[in-house]
Structure 1
Amino acid sequence: MAFPALFHRFRKRTLSAVAAAFALVAVAASPASAAAQPSGPYTGMGTCPTSSAQMRDPNQAVVGCTVATIAGGGFTVGSTQVNFTSPMTVSFGVTWAKGGPTVTFPDESTAELFSTVSPTDGKELKSSPLDVPIPGLSNFWPGVTSAIVLIEPAGPITNFAPLSAGEDYPLFRLPIKMHLLNAFLGLNCYVGSDSAPIVLSPTAGTTNPPAPNQPVKGSTGTISIARDPNGFNPTIVGFGGATLNDNALPVPGAHGCGLFDSADWIVNLLFGLPSAAGHNAITLSGVTTALAVDPSDSDLINAINATRK
C-alpha cells in the first residue's frame, strides 16, 4: 500500500476513534428532557424512577432518590496511575422492603441494605472521557499516543448502605468496564465487561486489601439531615466532601482490541493486565451525595414536583 493511502487510512481511523469517544460523551451529557427540573434539595433527581413498579410497590417501607457528584480522585492499575479530570455523576432510585436486609457491624449497630432502581434515562453513571497516556510514549496526540478511556457501568449498583458511612464497610457495589478508544485499538476495546466487570466496593472507612497494598482510611465528610422545604414527608440526608477508597479490587485483561482481538496482548503488556487484587486502587474524592427518603412514593413524587422550575 502506498504511503499516502496508508497515512490517509490511519488518519481516518484516528479521527473516527476520537470522534466516537466525544460523541458518546455528548449524548451522555445532553439533558434528558427540556421539562422543568427539580430544584433545592432535589436538584439532580429529575431522572429518579418514582413511577417504576418497584418504587410503587406497597410492600416498600422506604423509597427514595439518590444523586452523587464525584469531584475528583483517580485509579491505579499496577504501576499506571490516572487522575479524574472532570466530575462524575451517579444517580438512581432506592427501595427497602418491610423486614428487608440489614448489615450488622462490630459495634452492634445496623444499617439497611437498599435495593436500587435504574434511573429513567438508564444512566446510573455519567462520566467524561479520560486521556490516558500509553506507558513508554510521549503523549502528544490524544487517541494515538494515548487511549481515550470512558468509564461505563457494567451492571446495576447493589448493596447500597448509605448509613454505613462511619464503618469499615462498602457503601455500595458498582460494576464498571473501561472502554479504550485508540486509532490502533478500534472502537470495541474494553477492560472489564458486563459478564466479568471491574467491581468497585468503596468505603469511607478503612480498607482491608491483600498485600502489597496497605489499608487506607477514607472520610465521611460532613453529614446533614433536613426536612422537605414545602411540608412534605421526605427526609433529605446529605454527605458532603466524602472520600471513598477501594484498594482490594482485581482488574481483568483486555478484550476486543484490534482486529479479531489481535491487540489484546499489547494492551495487557503495556498496562500490566490482568492485575491481581492488592495491586490496584480507586479513590473517589470530594463526593457530595443527596439521599431523599420517604415512606410513601406518592408523597415523594409530590415533594419533588413542588420544586420543579
Structure 2
Amino acid sequence: MRTDSTSTSTAATTTAAAPRPHRLRRLLPPAAVAACAALLAGVAPATAAPAAAAAPGAPYTGMGNCPVAAPAMHDPSNLQVGCLVSVTNAGKFTLGNTVVPFNSPITLQFGFYWDKSAPEVSFPDGSTANQYTVVPPTSAPLLSAPMVQINIPGIQNYLPGITSVFAQVELAGPVTKFTPLATGEPYPVFQLPIKLHLYNALFGAHCYVGSDAAPLLLKPTTGSTAPAGSTPPMTGDPGTIGYDPDPNGHNALVISETNASLVDNTFAVPGANGCGLLGSLNQIINWTMGLPAAPGKDSVSFQQTNASFVLDTDIADLTAALGDSTAH
C-alpha cells in the first residue's frame, strides 16, 4: 500500500543528462540527497548475478516475488526499474451504510519501471515526481487480502456465513499510475481497481459488489483527498520516511515508509451483482448495504501501512542486489 504505499523522492536518470534528484531535497538532508543521486547515477552497472532468491535479506526483505525476470522489466529503454512490497495492518472500508473492517494484514507486491517517455506528475508547490508502470508478480498474487465478516443489520449472528456475510477484497484490473514519491501531496500513490466478493450460504458463488467492468476504483493518498460536492476531505499521513543504499556496493536504493496512512473518499460503489439465483438477492443486498453509493458516501482508510520500494537504473544490477542480499 505503504503502499507503502510510497515514500520520499528519488533521482530520475535520463540517457543524455545527469540524474535529477526531484523531490529528495524536500525530505532528506543535503548530504543524503547527494548520496542518493550518486547511487542512482551509477557509472557502470554491476555484473549480473543469478536470479534473485525467494527470500532476499535486508534492506530488500519481502521482495522475493518481484518479477525481475519479466520481459517488461528488461526493456533496454527503461530509465529506472524497481520493486515494491507494502503491508497494511489496520483500517476499514465504508461502503454506503456498511463498514468493513480490516482485521488482518493486506499485502501489495509488484515490480515497476519508468520508461523512456519519462512520465511525471507536477504538484501545486512546483515539484514533480516520476510515474511508473506496474508489473505484476508472476508467481504470487499482487494483492493478498483476508476474508472479513460483516454483520447483517437487525440480525443476531448465531451462524457465521448464514446470519452474517463474509467479504473478501479482490483485484478487478491492473494497478496503474504508480507514483510512490507523491509523499504527502494531494495525489494518489496509485489507482487500484477492486471488487468485493460476498460469501453467504444463500448468495451463491458469484456474488459481488463491483466487477471487472465496473470496479471500485481506489485512489489512496498520503495527502488530502478532493471528494465531490460538500463532502469534507480526508487526510493521510506519509509516516516515517527512511532510505537505505545497497550494502554490497550496487546502485540500488531502498526507500521506506513506516506507519503511514493512505485514504480515499472519492470513489463510487456500484450495486451488488450475481447474488442468489439469477441475481434474485441483488436488491436485498443493495437495500441492506445502502448501495449503489455515489462518490463522497464511501471511504477507505489503510492504516499502519509499512511499505518499501527499491529503485535502480539497471535490471541486471537490481537482480544482483536482491540476490546478494541473501548472503548477508
Q: Same fold (TM over 0.5)?
A: yes
1:243 maps to a residue whose letter is S
2:130 maps to a residue whose letter is E
- Is 1:260 aligned to 2:283, yes or no? no
The residue correspondences of 1:44-59 to structure 2 (distance < 5 A) are 44-59=62-77
Whole-angstrom CA distance in 1 between matches of 2:205 and 2:139: 23
Higher percent of residues as helix? 1
Displacement of 1:213? 2.7
- Equivalent residue number for residue 301 of structure 1: 319
- Equivalent residue number for residue 100 of structure 1: 118
Displacement of 1:36? 4.3
Displacement of 1:229? 1.4
1:161 maps to a residue whose letter is T
* Contact 1:103/1:113 (8 A) holds in 2: yes
Q: Deviations over 1:121-150 (max 9, x none)?
A: 251100110011112212232111111101
- Is 1:81 aligned to 2:113, yes or no? no
Match of 1:241 among 259, 267, 270: 259
Q: Could you say what secondary structure the match of 1:41 adopts?
A: coil
- Equivalent residue number for residue 200 of structure 2: 182
Q: Deviations over 1:226-272 (max 9, x none)?
A: 10111111000001111011011100011110111111111111101
Q: Could you say what secondary structure the match of 2:206 adopts?
A: strand
Displacement of 1:174? 0.3
| Greater RCO, 1 or 2 (C-alpha within 8 Å, sep 6+) | 2
Question: Structure 2 vs 1, CA of residues 229 and 140 (structure 1 numbering), >3 Å: closer, same or farther?
Answer: farther
Displacement of 1:169? 0.6
Match of 1:201 among 215, 219, 223: 219
- Equivalent residue number for residue 249 of structure 2: 231
Please identify runs of 4+ aligned residues in structure 1 that moved more than 6 A: none
* Contact 2:257/2:308 (8 A) holds in 1: yes
Whole-angstrom CA distance in 2 between matches of 1:119 and 1:218: 27
Whole-angstrom CA distance in 1 between matches of 2:95 and 2:201: 22
- Equivalent residue number for residue 165 of structure 1: 183
* Contact 2:54/2:65 (8 A) holds in 1: no
The residue correspondences of 1:1-40 to structure 2 (distance < 5 A) are 36-40=54-58
Match of 1:155 among 166, 173, 182: 173
Calculate the TM-score normalised by the size of structure 1: 0.87
Whole-angstrom CA distance in 2 between matches of 1:248 and 1:139: 32
Calculate the TM-score normalised by the size of structure 2: 0.82
Higher percent of residues as strand? 1
Displacement of 1:308? 2.8
- Equivalent residue number for residue 5 of structure 1: none
Q: Could you say what secondary structure the match of 1:269 adopts?
A: helix
* Contact 1:234/1:293 (8 A) holds in 2: yes
Q: Deviations over 1:89-136 (max 9, x none)?
A: 000001001232111111110011100001122511001100111122
Q: Which runs of 5+ in 2 are unaligned?
A: 1-52
Match of 2:297 among 275, 279, 293: 279
Q: Deviations over 1:47-81 (max 9, x none)?
A: 11101111000000000000000011101112211
Match of 2:87 among 50, 54, 69: 69
Displacement of 1:211? 3.8
Whole-angstrom CA distance in 2 between matches of 1:300 and 1:237: 14
* Contact 1:212/1:279 (8 A) holds in 2: no
Q: Percent identity at matched positions? A: 44
* Contact 1:111/1:163 (8 A) holds in 2: yes
Whole-angstrom CA distance in 2 between matches of 1:161 and 1:290: 13
